[in-house]
Structure 1
Amino acid sequence: MKALILGIDGYIGWALALRLVAKGHEVAGIDNLSTRRFSAEVGSDSAFPLPSPKERVEAVKRKLGADIKFIVGDAKDKALLEETIRDFKPDVIVHFAEQRSAPYSMKDYEHAWYTLENNLKSTLSLLYAVSEIDPSIHILKMGTMGEYGTPNFDIPESAFVKAIIQGKEDTIPTPKWGGSYYHWSKIFDTFLILFKGKLSNLTVTDIMQGPVYGTRTEEITDEELRTRFDFDETWGTVINRYCVEAVLGLPLTPYGKGKQTRGFISLEDSVEALRLLIENPPKDGEYRVVNQFAEVYNVRQLAEIVKNAAEELGLKTDITHVKNPRVEAEEHYYNPEVKVLPSLGFKPKRNIRDETKVMIKDLLPYKERLESFKHVIMPKTVWK
């Protein structure tokens, strides 16, 4: 199978590329390297030094005996997408080429507009390129569980739900409420895909994924194959941030009450779930929604888990709640449905309690490097 990954240089994009070539698939990717630039913009960097795209491709040849075609370019460029699709002839296109940070989108007007313009234009360019060249190509689009917010109903794996309107039953799109301009861009993506997909009979998997954590997959065995690892307040997910705080001897810092509940998944389990979805596409012309996570915790519970892992490794740390910079429900109902991935045989291999120890061990050799970035860990971006 041929897979084109938009956003191949990213945290999940690179790990997925390694998984697919290790399983014998052909992989090409497009990335404008914006995450590297945006990380530098906020004074941060990957915890692990990142090789250049050329060095990454060469490492895959040496270590895995496979070729990856890495194109430095912008997924918003419809002409580039068309040229690449015609040349590579992918069976599936994985769309990760979006600005992925809620805090980054909330910094000011310019960052909010960039997020909306970048994410919607890249999605629309992809939808049109596929519909005009080969509508049979499976589009695998990375959404987020954050599209739903924290509703007082079970979150279904469905684009539509039944509702009673004026006393009569009707079908409406599943209600959503974003918590940042980033999340709203993802919601708008969903509706663009639903609309254009229906017009052009496109085959789409829309993944609603929870926060991802971890430093390793089965393919990431040494420095040269590592993916990026973000830990600052703008780009780092909560578990990654806690692990770096523990390594640096800083307090672990849940926002507000710490009862914000989410579904989490390890990097290893994320790429394996994505592989299964790629190898088992929906029916032609079908729009498939997948809720992708493995464990549900609130952020205070995660802090306790990381604290215990750190102490087992001889590191002492405390937990200090800080003022929540976000506007969000801190106590809420949370029960998403998960059926599609188990039906494909997906079973999580990793869990948060074990994986946090692996993460801390991997980060410890980079403590001096992390020290130089500790000023970017605490929240500075305020929603209001």
Structure 2
Amino acid sequence: MAVLDNFARRGYDVELGAESLVPIEDLSTRIEAWQEVSGRTIASYEGDLLDAGFVFDTVRDFRPESIVHFAEQRSAPYSMIDREHAVYTQHNNVVGNLNLLYAIAEIDPDIHLVKLGTMGEYGTPNIDIEEGWLEVEHNGRRDRMLYPKKPGSFYHLSKVHDSHNIEFACRIWDLRATDLNQGVVYGQQTPQTALDPRLATRFDYDAVFGTVLNRFVIQAVLGQPLTVYGEGGQTRGVIDIRDTVECIRLAVENPAERGEFRVFNQMTESHSVAQIADIVAKCFPGPVQIEHLDNPRVEQAEHYYHVKHTGLVELGLQPHLLSDTLIESMFDLVGANKHRVNDDRLHPTVRWRGAIKS
């Protein structure tokens, strides 16, 4: 096993003046801790997917059976700050992914690419969301095509471009790939990270990289109102971090066929923002208020949302429930680290219509 990183995510923290609620060790410390608790070693490569030579050399040196590609700028608000951040997001994500596709095609086309997508690629269509593909009948003829996408940010658009590029590469180069269209991840701990505090993973809560659930949990623990954008009718798919890791395992151990672009909708439940606020309020052992703010995003206030997500369950996924995760871990985790909260980072700072200013 090996890990490749250019440490860009840590750089975003410096840029934004934000940091994970839970302290994160450096990569070498984490690798050492994992070896101590598991007896397994992880090789490490430091470099950038935008450097094609580095990508080719790394793939050629390690020759993996599978590549799990999570190395992209992953924040919608970050991509909407201004022109510079939009261009950076698309260039970093799309070009890096293309370099990886070319490396696989030229070095070993049998490598299985497992790529992190997002449920945000689909947007909020007024029809059921299928798992990546759609059977279409038009003027008496039928065809199977990629599900039409209507993303809501330049970040989500970059993921759409990735998906189209991967499908194209599978079709013309006979590659094998699995696109994991992931919902909003919640939770902070897996059975593996719980083995040693040095293995702790991120808990982002700021308005740029944090999730709405993390923000609500922190606000509840601090005795602040839960800040819902608009009326809270926006519905999203969500998934426990333990299930996220399990989905990756299932995808790697059950690879796509050569020439197959396989898509899984990696989510286990769907809730509106208002429903998530209500769940947090009901689970928290104390009084909680809910406050509605003007929505900084451009999105439908209420919409139809019905997602098919059976592929990973058929491979063996047994989902955890949102309410159980909150009760088990998140309130206690925040309580132990609440002294690290920067209140200023809880409030929205990026507005979609303001992104036209460069």
TM-score (norm 2): 0.95
- Are 2:294 and 1:323 aligned? yes
Counterpart among 85, 108, 111 of residue 82 in structure 2: 108
Q: How far does the alpha carbon of each residue in 1:59-85 deviate from its partner, in whole angstroms, 9 at most, with x for none?
A: 111122211122221122221121111
Q: CA deviation at 1:248?
A: 2.0
User: How many equivalent residue pairs?
Assistant: 351
Distance 1:56 1:76 in 2: 25
Q: Is the 8 A contact 2:127 2:304 kept in 1?
A: yes
Aligned to 1:202: 175
Q: How far does the alpha carbon of each residue in 1:286-322 deviate from its partner, in whole angstroms, 9 at most, with x for none?
A: 1101011111111111111112222x2xx43311011
Q: How far does the alpha carbon of each residue in 1:5-53 deviate from its partner, in whole angstroms, 9 at most, with x for none?
A: xxxxxxxxxxxxxxxxxxxxxx211111111110221121011111111
Q: Which amino acid is 2:343 matched to?
A: K
Distance 1:86 1:96 in 2: 19
- Are 2:343 and 1:374 aligned? yes
Distance 1:234 1:380 in 2: 8
Q: How far does the alpha carbon of each residue in 1:154-194 deviate from its partner, in whole angstroms, 9 at most, with x for none?
A: 11113343141x56444443111010000100111111111
Q: Any idea what SS the aligned residue of 1:274 has?
A: helix
Q: Is the 8 A contact 1:163 1:172 kept in 2?
A: no
Q: How far does the alpha carbon of each residue in 1:117-138 deviate from its partner, in whole angstroms, 9 at most, with x for none?
A: 0000111001000000000000
- For structure 2, which runs of at least 5 residues remain unmatched after alignment? 354-358
1:77-96 superposed matches below 5 A: 77-96=51-70
- Are 2:231 and 1:257 aligned? yes
Aligned to 1:152: 126
Distance 2:10 2:287 in 1: 32
Q: Which amino acid is 2:308 matched to?
A: E
Q: Any idea what SS the aligned residue of 2:236 has?
A: strand
- Are 2:255 and 1:281 aligned? yes
Q: Which amino acid is 2:251 matched to?
A: L
Q: How far does the alpha carbon of each residue in 1:274-297 deviate from its partner, in whole angstroms, 9 at most, with x for none?
A: 101110011122110101111111
Distance 1:383 1:71 in 2: 36
Q: CA deviation at 1:115?
A: 0.4
Q: How far does the alpha carbon of each residue in 1:300-347 deviate from its partner, in whole angstroms, 9 at most, with x for none?
A: 11111112222x2xx433110111000011211111112211221111
Aligned to 1:17: none
- For structure 1, which runs of at least 5 residues remain unmatched after alignment? 1-26
Are residues 190 and 197 of structure 1, via their aligned partners in 2, closer, same or farther at CA, if it must alter by over 3 Å?
same
Q: Which amino acid is 1:198 matched to?
A: R
Q: CA deviation at 1:238?
A: 1.2
Distance 2:256 2:143 in 1: 25
Q: Any idea what SS the aligned residue of 1:189 has?
A: helix
Aligned to 1:67: 41
- Are 2:328 and 1:345 aligned? no
Q: Which amino acid is 2:39 matched to?
A: G
Q: Is the 8 A contact 2:18 2:345 kept in 1?
A: yes
Q: Which amino acid is 1:335 matched to?
A: H
Distance 2:240 2:143 in 1: 38
Q: Which amino acid is 2:24 matched to?
A: L
Q: Is the 8 A contact 2:265 2:308 kept in 1?
A: yes
Distance 2:254 2:85 in 1: 37
Q: Is the 8 A contact 2:135 2:142 kept in 1?
A: no
Distance 1:148 1:42 in 2: 28
1:263-274 superposed matches below 5 A: 263-274=237-248
Counterpart among 142, 148, 162 of residue 136 in structure 2: 162
Aligned to 1:19: none
Distance 1:61 1:170 in 2: 50
Q: Is the 8 A contact 1:159 1:173 kept in 2?
A: yes
1:3-14 superposed matches below 5 A: none
Q: How far does the alpha carbon of each residue in 1:209-258 deviate from its partner, in whole angstroms, 9 at most, with x for none?
A: 10000011111214211111111000011111111122222211111110
Q: Is the 8 A contact 1:256 1:323 kept in 2?
A: yes
- Are 2:15 and 1:41 aligned? yes
Q: Is the 8 A contact 2:129 2:307 kept in 1?
A: yes
Distance 1:246 1:52 in 2: 30
Superposition misfits of 4+ residues, deviation over 6 angstroms: none
TM-score (norm 1): 0.89
Aligned to 1:22: none
Aligned to 2:304: 333
Q: Which amino acid is 1:368 matched to?
A: H
Distance 2:166 2:314 in 1: 24
Aligned to 1:133: 107
- Are 2:161 and 1:188 aligned? yes
Distance 1:246 1:71 in 2: 40
- Are 2:84 and 1:143 aligned? no
